Structure 1
């Protein structure tokens, strides 16, 4: 289906304080992140190198819409579909058939590729399952990129800082790894050039850098060296 790169994703807890700092310093108009006295430009290509997703081809949005036939074909019921239910179904299904792949795609979309604060799968995601043969050729990198920028834009509109973390949407995992990939801290930096880049980051390695950055004064500190160009 074209999501093999995500199999390298290691379990870790998102560093929400870091992410809040990064989102407040991200300009959605220029797609630039201002940290440590530098400006880093995020692009669709970064989604490819970090998450290993396909870029090019038709936009994902061209395949979206509601579809009652899909509900029947993939055993999705008639009401709203909870993301938690998809997870349960996937864990209980020992056969990787068409139904499994369809539910897996929906789960990826609502929990990793473009997560939101909603507990249900958006109804307009269903139609994409009507033609699973084209899924791997869609521009998933742009789908994730656009979703992140939209999420950051919405987040920055919130005036109450205490409740902002309840409104984080989009693939902020991408923003977190994008930042970490540019931090240069000698023995703490990931030096391997193999892709996708998420294969090199786990909770331990992320926590070490986040802790070090914090001790040096946070994301505005010029004591932290930044690699402007990262392959």
Structure 2
């Protein structure tokens, strides 16, 4: 999906826009200034993500509106974190105790509690039977932060008290209840092949909104293929492969469109590698968010 627009903007223009926003609201109260600074950081980070996906992407009014709405929908505690981030580099100047992640097993568990028996069977059909039986509450973020600091992603080991614990796709699959079925992931293709899903899930240039997926599943009583795709997407973005933002890439649809092959994909390896990549980026780029399934580390 390409971002519409007829003019290109240079990276410097984004910074200028941010500075203009600061000047425009400088006369307001301290609370408003904090909110505005938070939006500026969120806006700059969103722009970088768009440019990373498509170097020719243009930041049109439509895209700006999508970013603004996405910021408004953030939980209050996550909004507050953005005001600490550097506007220039998108790095986080948050205190060390701050550790943000979209991995939310409690959110997935809450949705699972609303599933009908037919829907539960449908979930088992796509190989997620173990996922819906997970008994866990909220993620222990302080513990995860402590563990992440002790992971050597280059060698895939967790270093504890002089000992090294090997991390691997096999252990990930065993703990999280997913497998490698032998079929590789497909993350590219003709958008026309998944157009129906893009429309159904209200996809935008930024991806598919997590809250939108949640609302669709909570109001659905069906257990058809559309439900299976929606549930798999929600499981990916809340547990197995959570992104850094409030959107999950629609590229997953190219893997999910063949519903009968969902359980045969190499989910364990894919999700494990995404976690290692997320931890590496968190450390090297000093990001505020950690991508990936942190529940695996608990």
Per the normalisation by structure 2, the TM-score is 0.53
Please list the CA deviations of residues 87-135 of structure 1 after superposition, one character each: whole Å capped at 9, or x if unmatched: 1100100111111111111111222111012111202122123211111
Match for residue 259 of structure 2? 132
Matched, 1:45 2:167: no
Match for residue 135 of structure 2? 10
Q: How many residues align?
A: 170
Q: What RMSD, in angstroms, separates the aligned Cα atoms of the two structures?
A: 1.9
Q: Is the 8 A contact 1:66 1:126 kept in 2?
A: no
**Cα drift, residue 81 of structure 1:** 2.1
Moved over 6 A (4+): none
Counterpart Cα distance in 1 of 2:142 and 2:264: 35
Matched, 1:70 2:194: yes
Please list the CA deviations of residues 183-205 of structure 1 after superposition, one character each: whole Å capped at 9, or x if unmatched: xxxxxxxxxxxxxxxxxxxxxxx
Counterpart Cα distance in 2 of 1:117 and 1:27: 21
Unaligned 5+ residue runs, structure 2? 1-125
Match for residue 24 of structure 1? 149
Counterpart Cα distance in 1 of 2:173 and 2:142: 25
Query: Which one has more relative contact order, counting CA pairs under 8 Å at least 6 apart?
Result: 1
Q: Is the 8 A contact 1:28 1:149 kept in 2?
A: yes
Give the secondary structure class of the aligned counterpart of 1:40: strand
**Cα drift, residue 65 of structure 1:** 4.2
Please list the CA deviations of residues 48-90 of structure 1 after superposition, one character each: whole Å capped at 9, or x if unmatched: 2111111240222x35446334231572235242111101100
Unaligned 5+ residue runs, structure 1? 177-231
